[in-house]
A and B are shown apart, each in its own frame.
Chain A
């Protein structure tokens, strides 16, 4: 099956810093989503982005389907951004291992 790799596995930032999270996948996909899992375990959908670029406030995402990767950008990070960020690909939503983000005040 399709392999999904996320990097970095862990990221610690000072509040206000910017960051880039990466998701690589091993085959072409029809569907790619980014999720945030908050400290209480709830998974929240951030973007549905099989290709192109989208922005939502301080967050934006870009998927380059031909090169099999997606990037999630977080600007001016806040402590509430802490948690684990996952990408999930294809119609059956296969997840990567995630990036654990800690934003310090």
Chain B
């Protein structure tokens, strides 16, 4: 297993377009997390899944952001009608099914909205 994989690594899009990112967690990791990080800030929580169930999501996800994990494996994060303020690094992490264990991050998808 090569770790948490995120695609694409970079995405440049025009304002108003929709974008979708993919995260493939480490095999058999049942928890999956999405974060957004802007320069100089800590990762901002977006949502997390346990298997296919979305257990918690920030207020941000009630607007133009949505996430899915349909079969409890990979996950997608979609941003509709992108704005320049959406430019950021989008990070995914996964952790194994044992209770309370460490999480592992992917390398992120850097989004630039022009």
Contacts and interface: CB of A to CB of B under 8 A. Distances in A.
A42 B106 CA distance: 7
Given A31-B100, A98-B42, A42 B105 contact: yes
Given A92-B55, A93-B93, A45 B104 contact: yes
Nearest to A45: B102
Contacts, number: 50
B27 to A, nearest CB: 17
Contact of A86 (B43, B56, B101): B43
B107 A42 contact: yes
B45 A92 contact: yes
Interface in B72-114: 89, 91, 93, 100-105, 107-108
Chain A CB within 10 Å — which of B35, B41, B43 has the most? B43
Interface string A33-65: 101000001111101101000000000000000
Contacts of B33: 92-93
A69 interface: no
Nearest to B56: A92
B48 interface: yes
Given A41-B89, A41-B107, A95 B45 contact: yes
Chain A CB within 10 Å — which of B89, B102, B108 has the most? B102
Nearest to A94: B45
A33 B43 contact: no
A37 to B, nearest CB: 9
Contacts of A94: 45
A37 B41 CA distance: 11
B56 A33 contact: no
Contacts of B108: 41
Given A41-B107, A41-B108, A42-B107, A95 B43 contact: yes
